Amino acid sequence: MSIKNKTILVTGGTGSFGHKVSSFLEKHDPKKIIIYSRDEKKQYEMEKDHPGYHYVIGDVRDKDRLRYAMRGVDFVFHAAALKQVPSCELYPFEAVKTNIIGSQNLCQVAIESGVEAVVALSTDKAVKPINAMGISKSMMEKIVCSQNQHELPTRFACVRYGNVMGSRGSVIPLFRRLIEQGRPLTITAPDMTRFMMSLDDSVELVMHALTQAKGGEVFVKKAPATRVIDLAKAMLRKYGDGDLDRVELVGIRPGEKMDEVLVNEYEIRRADESASFFMIHPEYVDFQENKAYPLGYEYTSANTTLLTEYEDISALLDKIGELKLYE
């Protein structure tokens, strides 16, 4: 599928993913890139680096504003979301209004506007969710992937990420700031594991979904993981003074898991698998059952490739690149 001469709308476009995917897309001769977000300051800052994009202030909660922004759009990357676990725990209905109702608005307007394809961004916290953010993103997946139960000209699909390194609000920029300030790194639980993906990986995944989706699928890119304590010590060694004891345990926050799941035991039975990706078919289509794994197997941050050595984690950190846009 060619991006050339296509108009692409990125909701939540001033965030980490929006910056990265837009920079990728502009190299492929699109007709127009539209950045749709609520924050005028972030749009102002982004426009200084990317004056050729089109910027629209708006919220996915506002269906009329979405109609205005989506006129003539071919592809939509839906990244707008409330994604901070603690704030969604405090204000769960705000997560409902943006992540659930906002996504329903986007789907309806995309169909009305004749959009060719919508790819929505989800998270490992949507799998077996235990917090408000994860529950709202799980419902977002259900809403988006349900659209193609009926024959439509618009294809809908989701992608599901683990921790995206360097993204706004992730632990790596936090650790970098604490190291620069000479403060201890705050660790919730030493043995907690998290998937580690670069922003380049996130772009690769959405483009894979855009080209491969028939409608209703969830796409997952395989990724390594690391224990939080190993990540902290690698960053102290790489960016700090090498004092590996500069760690403070603060306990697990409300809504946090020890390990994350990207594909649960039910989904993996209806997933096609390649060397780099899972493609989870919706339940409403015929699929060939995947019997490669024993019953009950899940793809988690505890059983994926676990990086424990400094050299391996350091090489992963080198993939982040410049952090200034994403802090």
Q: Which amino acid is at 319?
A: K
Q: Which amino acid is at 293?
A: Y
CATH of 7-161+198-221, one of 3.10.310.10, 1.20.1740.10, 3.40.50.300, 3.40.50.720: 3.40.50.720
Write the burial class of residue 48 (CB in 10 Å: 0-12 exposed, 13-18 middle, 19+ buried). Answer: exposed
> Where is 39: in which H helix or E strand?
none
Catalytic residue among 6, 83, 125, 222: 125
- Torsion angle of the four alpha carbons 284, 11, 199, 267, in this order, in degrees rounded to the nearest 10: -10
pLDDT, tens digit (0-9, with 9 covering 90-100), for 62-71 = 999 999 999 9
Residue 125 falls in the annotated catalytic set: yes
Domain ranges of the chain: 7-161+198-221
Instruction: Kindly give, in sequence order, each residue whose CB lies less than 8 Å from that of residue 128, ignoring residues fewer than 6 positions away.
Output: 261, 264
pLDDT, tens digit (0-9, with 9 covering 90-100), for 37-70 = 999 999 999 999 999 999 999 999 999 999 999 9
Dihedral (CA of 67, 69, 75, 79) sign: negative
Instruction: Kindly give, in sequence order, each residue whose CB lies less than 8 Å from that of residue 167, ignoring residues fewer than 6 positions away.
Output: 15, 16, 17, 199, 326
Q: What is the pTM of this model?
A: 0.92
Residue with tokens 């919706």: 282
C-alpha angle with apex 206: 318 to 147, nearest 5 degrees? 150
pLDDT, tens digit (0-9, with 9 covering 90-100), for 179-236 = 999 999 988 888 999 999 988 999 999 999 999 999 999 999 999 999 999 999 999 9
